[in-house]
Every structure is written in C-alpha cells, then in structure tokens.
Structure 1
Amino acid sequence: MCGMPQQPPVRSTFTRPARPDASMSLLTNVMDHSLDDGYAEAAARKKADGTGGLPKTLRAKLGLAAGLVLAALVVTVGAAQARVAAPAVAKEREELIDRIEGETSAADRLEESVDQLREDVSARQREALEKNGDGGRSDLMGILSGAVEVHGPGVKLVVNDAKDTGTGGDGQPRGTSGFADTGRVRDRDMQRVVNGLWESGAEAVSINGQRLTALSAIRAAGDAILVDNRPLVPPYTVLAVGDGERLSTRFQDSADGLYLHALQENYGIRTAISVADDLELPAATSVIVRTAQPITEKGTS
C-alpha cells in the first residue's frame, strides 16, 4: 500500500486589524504631539536653570506683595513695641519732673534760710557795733561790701543785643582774635560797663537783680553771660546807686561810656540810660572771704 507523501502543515498567520483612525494619521500625530519638541526642550532648560515657572511680571508682583507684607509686619511690630514702651518712658519723664521740682523747692528753701541767717548775722553785728559806738562804720562796710540791701538815687542803664544779632548795625560782624563776633552783648562789654560805673562814682551796682561785690565775676558760657556763675538773659538792666546826674554824666564821658556808645553806633547794640530818684538793690548772695585776714592793731609798749 502505497502511502501518500506527507505534506508539511500549513501555519496560519494572524494579521492585526487596522486602527479605525488609520486614515486620520495626520490628526493623530497632532494630538499625540501637541507641543513642538523645540518648545519642550526650551521649557526643560528654563526649568533646569530655575527660570521656568511663573512669568516675570507675575513673579515681580508676588515679590512686591511679599515686600509690602514684610514692611507692614515691621511697622506693626515697631508700633506695638512703642505702645509697650510709651508708659515706661512717660513714667520716667514724670519721675524726672517730680525730682527736678523737688530739688528746686529744696534749693529755694535753703536760699530763704541763708537769707534769714544773713539778716540775723547783720543785725547782731550792728547791735554789737552800736554798743561800742561804731554802728555807722558797720553800715558803711555792709553797703560797700554788698552784704546788705541798699536804696538811694542813681542811674538805670539798659543794655540789649542788636535787633539783628547775626551782624552789627552796619552789616559787618564784630570780630576779635579771628573769631566772628556779632551784635550780641558780650561779657567783656558788661565788664567795661560795670567798671566804668564804679570809676564814675557808683556806690552799689547790680545786674538783673544780682548784686556785685569785690568778689563778683562776669564771665561767659557760650552766648550766655554769667554773674557769679548765675546765667542772665538780655536785656541787661544795670542799677547803680550814687549821685544820679553826676554819675550819669561822668559815665557817658568816660572811656567805658564812649566804648558803649561806639557799640551802639557801629554794631546796633541798644542802650538806654536814665536818672532815677530811688533805686533798691538786693544784698549779694555771698560775701565770704576765704583768704584775706584783717590787720589787727597792736599797741606799743
């Protein structure tokens, strides 16, 4: 029996069916690759460099907003701290004012006590000298030394700064030793005025209520004039007890009076002198002598 030649089996081939959108390949490519590769690479580079993300304008607005918030926070914190510190500062200020007022009151009481003690000492001195028949000499010494209040005829001299204290009356500054001076009254001006009044025959002198003695000093501290370390403010009123008419004439004709007149003419310093029938001058605040000693008369044997 003849056998038939065996045929190799036939292998069937599976064919994948076509996509329904195979005919729309262009649209499919656009949908799958909606962003161009170049744009994608650029975005990736910006993101890697840290410049990607929000637009510049939006980033600037956010930065400005953050700065404003920070500034508002700083102002709020500062205001809160000021409100917290304000009561403490106010309390310290009140305590300082109370302390100043208390010290001022204490100084006033001490000054009153000194005045009372001075009056008591003067009264006891006069009493002791009157018992010895020398009361007139005590009164004269008290007047000349400035230890007692005095009154009598004399002159009233008012010296004031120029209206424009920046320059003299002619617009030119007054200068000494290279330092700019002005139409302001200086300590050396008042020194010459007082010395001129003493030389012209004044028996007692005061400036703005400060009695002058042989121990008095007229000095300057900045633009302020000090008399016995007490500051005075213009106008400076000088009272001098003496023969009024004679004292006024002699002073105005003296070198110091002419000096004062030159200040008025050249630098605008204002002056006015008048004769008074009765002036009252207070006692000096201190007439303590620390070095000088009286000479005691020794009888001869």
Structure 2
Amino acid sequence: MSQHPPDRSTPARRSRPDASMSLLTNVTEHSLDDGYAESAARREAGGTTGLPKSLRARLGLAAGLALVAAVVTVGAAQARVEAPVRAKEREGLIQRIQDGTDRTDGLESTVEALRREVGEKQQEALRRHGGGRGELTSLLAGATPVSGPGVKFVVDDAGPADGGTGGPRGSSSFSDSGRVRDRDMQRVVNGLWGAGAEAVSVNGQRLTSVSAIRRAGEAILVDNRPLAPPYTVLAVGDGKRLSSEFRSSADGAYLAVLEKNYGIRVSVSVQEKVELPAAPSLIIRIAEPLGADGAGKSAGATEDTGKGIS
C-alpha cells in the first residue's frame, strides 16, 4: 500500500471582513491615545495627581472655595438689592430731564409769543405815528413780509476734488479757500443792495440796515443765527436788472473770481416771484412822537435808512 507524505502546508487563514478598514478600526478600538494613558499612569505612580494630600492643604482648599462662593453670593445679593434703587434713581433722573425739557419748551414758546407781540406793537406804532411814510419805513426796516419779482443766488462750498471731500484742498477747515466765508456773503448781499434790491434774505433770514453777517467757529451767522450751506440769497426787484448790474459790479467780479479760482459754486436765476419773511426782531433805536403840528421824526428801526451789511 502506498503512503502519501503528510500535508505540511499552512492552512489558509480566513480574512476579516473589515481588513480593508484597519485605520478606522484602530481609531475605534483605541479612542484614547496611549500617550495620555501612560502620562496619567506616571503621575499616579509619582503621587502628583494635583490634589492636596495633607489635611491642612485640603482644609485650605476647602476654605478658599468657601470664600469664593461667599464673595459671589454676597455680590449677587447686593446687586439684587441695589437694582431697584438704581432703577428708581434712573427713572427720577429721566423724569427730571423731561421736566427740564418741558420747562425749556414752555419758556421758548413764551419768548416767541412775546416777540410776536412786541413786533405787532412796533408795526402798529410805525403805521400810527409814521405819518405818510409809515409803510415805507416799515418796509425799509424789514418789519413786513415782502413778495414780488426778483433774483435768486445760490452760493455753495467747492465740490469734492479728485474724488476727495472737503473742498479743493481736501480740508474741512474754515480757512480752506474752497469754503464760503462770512465776508464772501457780505460782498454778495451788499452787491445786491447796490444793484437796487428792495429787500434781501439769506436762507430765510430777512436782512435789514442793522443786520450783521459774522463768523463763529465753522459756521456763518446772520443776526446771530447759524446757517448751513448752500446759502440761498433772495432779492426783491427787477430780476434781470439786478442780475446784470450785480455781475458788472466789483462784488460780482469778486464772486466770479471765487468761482473760477477756488471752485465756489454759484448759480443765479431770475424769479417771477420770491417771498421774503419779516425780520425776526425789530429794534426801534430812534423814535419821537409827532407834535400837534405833525412835526417830529417818524418811528423807525434807525434814523438812517441806508443799507449795508458788515
């Protein structure tokens, strides 16, 4: 009988179904890095777990934690107690501000009412004691509103240059040549008076023979009222004649230089009708009652009815 040599070949191993996913399997089975585990073991073996070992140290730690908890508790309780007090103080302060605002508004209303009353009495005095020149005196003094044909000037600061802002030199300073100044507006207004304007206003502010155009900081003031550009100047009179005579005057040439050399923006248009309000306040500086023979000076804002802005 023939004998077959024993089979010494290694039996084939059965492969795992997740053999191709060894990386994910390793991550799943060893979610905690071995290095962290070894480090924790070394600290435990060396007795450096971070917690105090002696009774005194433990008592000190407990006392510190208790102190922190007490401080937090007291702070929270104090904040809770003070919250209503602060809220009440805040409400009281808001109420005081509102009361002050109401009082201020009431005083302003009273002042405006008194100004209107004084103005009405002054106008009545002009009509009653001004003789035949009462209406003319009232008109020259700016005590009555005026409407009629005229001219409209709009003067504004220079526009942005090279994409910048604040005038041709990129500055917001009042001294910048690209900004309209008080003396520029003085020249415009006086030029219109010289051209024959019967009445003039700037941004709704009626000008009289005692009006003043001044500078205060970065603002232009007309009779102590700040104005903002653009500055709109309205003048009553023959619009075409006013425009022509103004442009041919020295003040018109001055304005043209500002427009050409410094970029000041100016537009002039003849209007069929412009409306100017009365002057906000009229001050009678010289007034004498008429005598029995009708002699005496007529009441007016000034003895001299000549015009001029300074």
Q: Is the 8 A contact 2:186 2:213 kept in 1?
A: yes
Question: 1:226–1:97: structure 2 CA closer, same or farther, 3 Å change rule?
Answer: farther
Q: Is the 8 A contact 1:147 1:283 kept in 2?
A: yes
The whole-number CA distance in structure 1 between the counterparts of 2:165 and 2:233 is 24
Q: Is the 8 A contact 2:126 2:137 kept in 1?
A: no
Q: Is the 8 A contact 1:190 1:218 kept in 2?
A: yes
1:206-232: CA deviation from partner (whole Å, max 9, x where unpaired): 111111111111111111111111111
Partner of 2:235 in structure 1? 240
Structure 1 residue 202: Cα displacement: 0.9
Structure 1 residue 267: Cα displacement: 2.5
Partner of 1:213 in structure 2? 208
Q: Which has the larger radius of gyration?
A: 1
Q: Is the 8 A contact 1:126 1:138 kept in 2?
A: yes
Partner of 1:112 in structure 2? 113
Partner of 1:186 in structure 2? 181
Q: Is the 8 A contact 2:157 2:167 kept in 1?
A: no
Partner of 2:127 in structure 1? 126
Partner of 1:99 in structure 2? 100
Question: 1:98–1:159: structure 2 CA closer, same or farther, 3 Å change rule?
Answer: farther
The whole-number CA distance in structure 2 between the counterparts of 1:197 and 1:287 is 22
Structure 1 residue 252: Cα displacement: 1.9
Partner of 1:272 in structure 2? 267
Aligned AA (2:103): G
- SS of aligned partner of 1:152: strand
TM-score (norm: length of structure 2): 0.59
Partner of 2:248 in structure 1? 253
1:222-271: CA deviation from partner (whole Å, max 9, x where unpaired): 11111111111222111111111100111122222222222222333222
The whole-number CA distance in structure 2 between the counterparts of 1:218 and 1:95 is 38
What are the within-5 Å matches in structure 2 for residues 142-221 of structure 1?
142-164=138-160, 168-169=167-168, 171=169, 180-221=175-216
Number of matched residues? 231
1:261-297: CA deviation from partner (whole Å, max 9, x where unpaired): 222223332221111122221111223144x577958
1:152-193: CA deviation from partner (whole Å, max 9, x where unpaired): 211111112223395544x48799xxx942422211111111
The whole-number CA distance in structure 1 between the counterparts of 2:75 and 2:254 is 64
Question: 1:174–1:234: structure 2 CA closer, same or farther, 3 Å change rule?
Answer: closer
TM-score (norm: length of structure 1): 0.61
The whole-number CA distance in structure 1 between the counterparts of 2:128 and 2:218 is 45
The whole-number CA distance in structure 1 between the counterparts of 2:248 and 2:261 is 18
Partner of 1:15 in structure 2? none
Question: 1:210–1:81: structure 2 CA closer, same or farther, 3 Å change rule?
Answer: farther
Structure 1 residue 94: Cα displacement: 4.6
Q: Is the 8 A contact 1:173 1:182 kept in 2?
A: no
Aligned AA (2:260): E
Aligned AA (2:123): S
Q: Structure 2: 5+ residue runs without aligned partners?
A: 1-56, 58-66, 289-294, 298-310
Q: Is the 8 A contact 1:145 1:214 kept in 2?
A: yes
Aligned AA (2:245): R
The whole-number CA distance in structure 2 between the counterparts of 1:255 and 1:264 is 14
Question: 1:194–1:93: structure 2 CA closer, same or farther, 3 Å change rule?
Answer: farther
Q: Structure 1: 5+ residue runs without aligned partners?
A: 1-53, 55-65
Percentage identity across paired residues of the two chains = 49
Q: Is the 8 A contact 1:174 1:182 kept in 2?
A: no
- SS of aligned partner of 2:153: strand
Q: Output the aligned Cα RMSD.
A: 3.9
